[in-house]
Amino acid sequence: MATSLLSCSESDSNTMQYPKKFTNSDPEFQQQGNLFEIIKAYFRTERQAPKPTSAIPLEMISVESLASEQSDVVYRLGHSSIAMKVDGQLILADPVFSDRASPVQFFGPKRFHEPPIKLAEMPNIDVVIISHDHYDHLDKATVKELADKVGTFLVPLRVGQRMVDWGIPQSKVVELNWWDAKTVNGIEFVFTPTQHFSGRGVMDGNTTLWGSWVINSANKRIFFSGDSGYFSGFKEIGDKYGPFDLTMIETGAYNALWSNIHMFPEQSVQAHIDLRGKVMMPIHNSTFDLALHDWYEPLEQALEISAAKGVAMVSPVIGQKLAIGEALPITKWWREEDKAQQ
């Protein structure tokens, strides 16, 4: 069951026999590739376009329209950060507004674009969901600034204690294990497995849990993947909770050296099919340079593969409003840079 930190501290979680370190559900998968080989690849790989050379398209979000929106809609804020209005409730997923996805703001992967809405201008938020504690998904500065505006934070096991240590009130934080469900304001949130890992430093690897989210409202079913390698769990989630009106699937930061923990585009499309999704929106791309492929490659490949497999893919411009379940025509906005240089 979901665990409120009012009744479960870090020491209590040990009493409840949660492991000191978490593992993936399929033991044949290794967490990460060979570190030496990864370092060599970063120095040796040549890329044509690791980041945009001109501004990518961006639609700024009106604070007033976001607060008053009553339709079921979703906005990409960048990378895996999402804003949703569902049943009139404002939900944020993995909000990262900092300039860098890093423990420090003077070094590390830097944003390609500004957020489409200023953090200080965000209206009150009903629920924030967090998939895991990596810096490109759990942003300390963002969480702390939003804290007074957020009704409930739903987080994986032991991530809640991190947030409480940052000064977030315990009463706002609810930790969940895989398959736990929590209903907030009439919307059911289910924390579901992924094939990944966790940690924010050298010594804390896998001491917190990671996962994905199922969001069930009165009229919509939504899936948010967080980060994951491809695994049988997607089909299990689809069988239990699908079909989904919209799947937001990790499609970016992949490489053969860490293929167990991040998906190639063809695997992302297959995950959507396994989940019994109606419309797929690739996420985890177009904001930070976190791998060795060109910045636009995930969207290019996902579009080609989804078309071949008959999957309805959408890729709205950052900040663009998308009706949940609606299959908008693809504009290929990531090619605008090429047009500007011609």
CATH number at residue 142: 3.60.15.10
Nearest one of 203, 244, 202 to 221, comparing CA atoms:
244
Contact present, 296 and 330 (Cβ < 8 Å) = no
For 54-78, the three-class secondary structure string (H helix, E strand, C coil) is CCCCECCCCHHHHHHCCCCEEEEEE
* Per-residue model confidence as pLDDT tens digits over 133-180: 999 999 999 999 999 999 999 999 999 999 999 999 999 999 999 999
Q: Identify the helix (H) or strand (E) that includes residue 91.
A: strand 89-93
For 76-105, how does the pLDDT look when each residue is reduced to its tens digit (9 = 90+)? 999 999 999 999 999 999 999 999 999 999
In a domain, residue 13? The reply is no
Has residue 40 been placed in a domain? no
Q: Does some domain include residue 21?
A: no
Cα separation, 273 vs 45, in Å, equals 32
Q: Is 231 within the bounds of a domain?
A: yes
195 in a structural domain: yes
Q: Report the C-alpha gap between 226 and 198 in whole angstroms.
A: 12
Q: pTM value? A: 0.94
DSSP 207: S
Whether the link from the prior residue into 50 is cis, omega within 30° of 0, is no
User: DSSP characters for 33-59?
Assistant: --HHHHHHHHHH---S-SS-SSPPPB-
Tell me whether residue 22 is in a domain.
no
Residue-number span of the structural domain to which 140 is assigned: 58-341
> Which pLDDT score is estimated for 30?
57
> In the chain, pLDDT over 70 holds for what percent of residues?
91
Cα–Cα distance, 192 to 176 (Å, whole number): 9
Task: Determine the angle formed by the axes of helices 265-274 and 297-308, rounding to 10 degrees.
Answer: 50
300/39 Cα distance (integer angstroms): 26
Question: Within a domain: residue 14?
Answer: no
Per-residue pLDDT of the chain (342 residues; tens, 9 = 90+): 565 443 333 334 444 578 899 999 876 665 555 767 877 777 788 888 999 999 999 999 999 999 999 999 999 999 999 999 999 999 999 999 999 999 999 999 999 999 999 999 999 999 999 999 999 999 999 999 999 999 999 999 999 999 999 999 999 999 999 999 999 999 999 999 999 999 999 899 999 999 999 999 999 999 999 999 999 999 999 999 999 999 999 999 999 999 999 999 999 999 999 999 999 999 999 999 999 999 999 999 999 999 999 999 999 999 999 999 999 888 899 987 554 443
In a domain, 38, yes or no: no
Tell me the C-alpha distance between 76 and 83, whole Å.
7
Name the domain count of the chain: 1
Does the CA dihedral 153-155-159-161 come out positive or negative?
A: positive
Residue-wise pLDDT tens digits, 271-282: 999 999 999 999
**What is the side-by-side order of every strand in the sheet holding 150-156?**
3-4, 173-176, 150-156, 125-129, 89-93, 81-86, 73-78, 321-323
Compute the mean pLDDT over every residue in the chain, rounded to the nearest whole number: 91
- Both structure tokens of 236: 């299990």
